[in-house]
Amino acid sequence: MFAISFLFIGSSSIFAQPDTLHAISTSANVDLMSRYIWRGQEYGQSPSIQPGLSATWKKFTLGAWGAYKFNGAGMQETDFYLSKTIGPISFAIWDYWNFCDTTYMNFFDYNHKTTAHLLEAQVLLSGGETLPFNIFGSYFFYGADTSKSIYIELQYLFLSDPINMLLFAGFQPKGTYYATKAAIVNIGCTVIKTITVTDRWSLPVSLSLVVNPYCKSVYLVAGITL
């Protein structure tokens, strides 16, 4: 599901005539995580490889993202999204698809009674450099979560090269996806340090401390971007 990507390992641009078409930029990244923790929830007791692809044109981004266990059978994930940035506000639609690699699953099943998809609308309000606070909100409007849960997260960014830090607190005011009642489900911080390997290549390393007060769980998650 939604993840912060720290480094793109490859990129390309396609240029047409400047007065007719804007550039289309593409990017790809691969994160290796010690655990897959998302919004205070644990998905699979195994390290996770999380690849991503995206293409951007006129501040529209179309992308795909996945999370796959290193070992053992269980739930895997393949997602698609479309986002648009307008000034300090970003909007996105995500299609999350979780599937079990030991049973038959139909990606194209969007029937509201049987689908394993979750469709989510997102909005992110960024304070920018002058006010390093973000407010994020999401709503499951269709799919496997029939309670149509809402998730709201307050974020604070501390940027200081070579170490950056994100503090966050997430709350479910409606629904039952993250908790059986309204509850704080995700508190913690992520620290990112970029290690210079060569003049042309650096390695971002992340460490996240995640606390879910509702589940009474605590996670310390490490990750690198190749």
Three-state SS across 125-193?
Answer: EECCCCCCEEEEEEEEEEECCCCCCEEEEEEEEEEECCEEEEEEEEEEEECCCCCCCCEEEEEEEEEEE
pLDDT > 70: percent of the chain: 90
User: Rounded distance, CA 206 to CA 4, Å?
Assistant: 10
User: Rounded distance, CA 192 to CA 159, Å?
Assistant: 10
Q: Flag whether 39 is in a domain.
A: yes
Range of the domain at 139: 10-225
- Side-chain-side CA neighbours of 109 within 13 Å: the count stands at 14
Q: Flag whether 221 is in a domain.
A: yes
Q: Is the per-residue pLDDT at 32 higher than 90?
A: yes
**Each residue of 98-124: pLDDT tens digit?**
998 878 889 999 999 999 999 999 999
Number of domains into which the chain is organized: 1
DSSP 20: T
- Higher-pLDDT residue of 2 and 101 is 101
Q: Flag whether 2 is in a domain.
A: no
Q: Flag whether 189 is in a domain.
A: yes
Query: What's the whole-number average pLDDT of the chain?
Result: 89
Q: Is the per-residue pLDDT at 12 higher than 50?
A: no
Single-letter code of the amino acid located at 189 = C
Q: Please tell me the predicted confidence (pLDDT) of residue 145.
A: 97
Q: Flag whether 51 is in a domain.
A: yes
- Higher-pLDDT residue of 6 and 26 is 26
Q: Flag whether 5 is in a domain.
A: no
User: Rounded distance, CA 154 to CA 79, Å?
Assistant: 24
Q: Flag whether 99 is in a domain.
A: yes
Q: Flag whether 81 is in a domain.
A: yes
Overall average pLDDT of the 7-23 stretch: 42
Instruction: Give the CATH number, domain containing residue 118.
Output: 2.40.160.40
Overall average pLDDT of the 40-59 stretch: 94
